């Protein structure tokens, strides 16, 4: 029996990106479908959709209509399509509660810190941040919200506050952002396999599973 090859995944995304939540859910379903033989090294890398967003944020409909040149009705239609895709993957989008768009730089600093603790810690924090914003409508630029999310996944809120109260890890996050921008990443999610294969967008589970099987050498089960 051949041993599967480990697969490194850099998931470049923002916690304020709905398609990132969909892409992550699809990727995780693909991983689960393949099973325990799959060896994955998953890293979440920073990308800010709205780096210039002020602390108070912006109304989500005003933001979407201005940024993408669409009507409020089109924004609502797009939101419903996103909600349905999320529901099919087991992720809840509550569009009525998510009424503002926020800056996410501090969230990325905490994700960078969580990665130093371990992959499961970073994954748990990433998922909790996505739920806080999209399912609960929380302000993910707020220190109080971020500390509650940190505590909810069992991480050290005292250490997290130390980071948030200073500029700690800011340059590391900016360096990572620059790195992926220099690699040509301008939209998210951008899912990079083994530093060379790229899948972008909230793609179907089947596409992620196909890529993972090809790279790991794990064949599809016989039908």
Identify whether 35 is part of a domain: yes
CA distances from 11 to 132, 165, 202 (A): 19, 27, 12
- What ranges in the chain are assigned the alpha helix state H? 18-34, 60-68, 72-89, 105-117, 119-130, 143-152, 157-164, 170-182, 205-216
pTM: predicted TM-score of the whole model, two decimal places: 0.96
Domain membership flag for residue 116: yes
Residue 221 counted as domain residue: no
Decide if 168 is inside a domain: yes
Cα separation, 187 vs 173, whole angstroms: 17
Reduced to 3 states (helix: H, G, I; strand: E, B; else coil), residue 93 is coil
- How remote is the C-alpha of 66 from its chain's centroid? 23
Could you give the number of structural domains in the chain? 1
Is there a domain that residue 171 lies in? yes
| Cα–Cα distance for residue pair 62/112, rounded to 1 Å | 31
In a domain, residue 1? The reply is no
Q: Which domain holds residue 40?
A: 7-216
Would you say residue 223 lies in a domain? no
Task: Give yes or no for a cis peptide into 61 (omega within 30° of 0).
Answer: no
Residues paired with residue 13 on neighbouring β-strands, in sequence order: 46
| Phi, psi torsion values for 27, nearest 5 degrees | -60, -45
Q: Is residue 222 part of a domain?
A: no
Which stretch of DSSP H or E encloses residue 9?
A: strand 7-13
- Name the token pair of 39: 């060896």
Angle among Cα 28, 17, 69 to the nearest 5 degrees reads: 140
Q: pLDDT truncated to tens, each residue of the chain (223 aa)? A: 457 999 999 999 999 999 999 999 999 999 999 999 999 999 999 999 999 998 889 999 999 999 999 999 999 999 999 999 999 999 999 999 999 999 999 999 999 999 999 999 999 999 999 999 999 999 999 999 999 999 999 999 999 999 999 999 999 999 999 999 999 999 999 999 999 999 999 999 999 999 999 999 999 988 7
CB 190 within 8 A of CB 12: yes
Task: Report how far residue 13's alpha carbon sits from residue 134's, in angstroms, rounded to the nearest whole number.
Answer: 14
Q: What CATH number should be reported for the domain holding residue 21?
A: 3.40.30.10
């Amino acid at each position: 029996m051949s041993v599967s090859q480990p697969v490194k995944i850099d998931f470049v995304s923002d916690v304020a990106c709905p398609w990132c939540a969909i892409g992550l859910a699809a990727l995780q379903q693909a991983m689960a479908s393949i099973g325990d033989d799959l060896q994955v090294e998953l890293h979440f890398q920073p990308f800010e959709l709205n780096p210039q967003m002020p602390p108070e944020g912006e109304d989500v409909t005003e933001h979407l209509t201005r940024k993408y040149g669409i009507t409020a009705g089109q924004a609502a239609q797009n939101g419903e399509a996103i909600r349905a895709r999320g529901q099919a993957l087991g992720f809840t989008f509550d569009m009525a509660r998510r009424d503002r768009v926020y800056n996410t730089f501090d969230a990325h600093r905490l994700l960078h810190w969580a990665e130093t603790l371990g992959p499961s810690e970073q994954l748990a924090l990433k998922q909790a941040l996505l739920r806080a914003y999209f399912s609960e409508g929380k302000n993910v630029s707020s220190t109080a919200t971020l500390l509650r999310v940190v505590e909810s996944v069992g991480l050290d809120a005292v250490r997290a506050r130390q980071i948030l109260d200073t500029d700690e890890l800011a340059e590391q996050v900016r360096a990572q952002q620059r790195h992926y921008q220099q690699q040509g990443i301008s939209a998210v999610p951008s899912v990079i396999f083994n530093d060379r294969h790229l899948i972008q967008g909230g793609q179907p589970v089947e596409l992620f599973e196909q890529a993972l099987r090809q790279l790991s050498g794990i064949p599809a089960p016989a039908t």
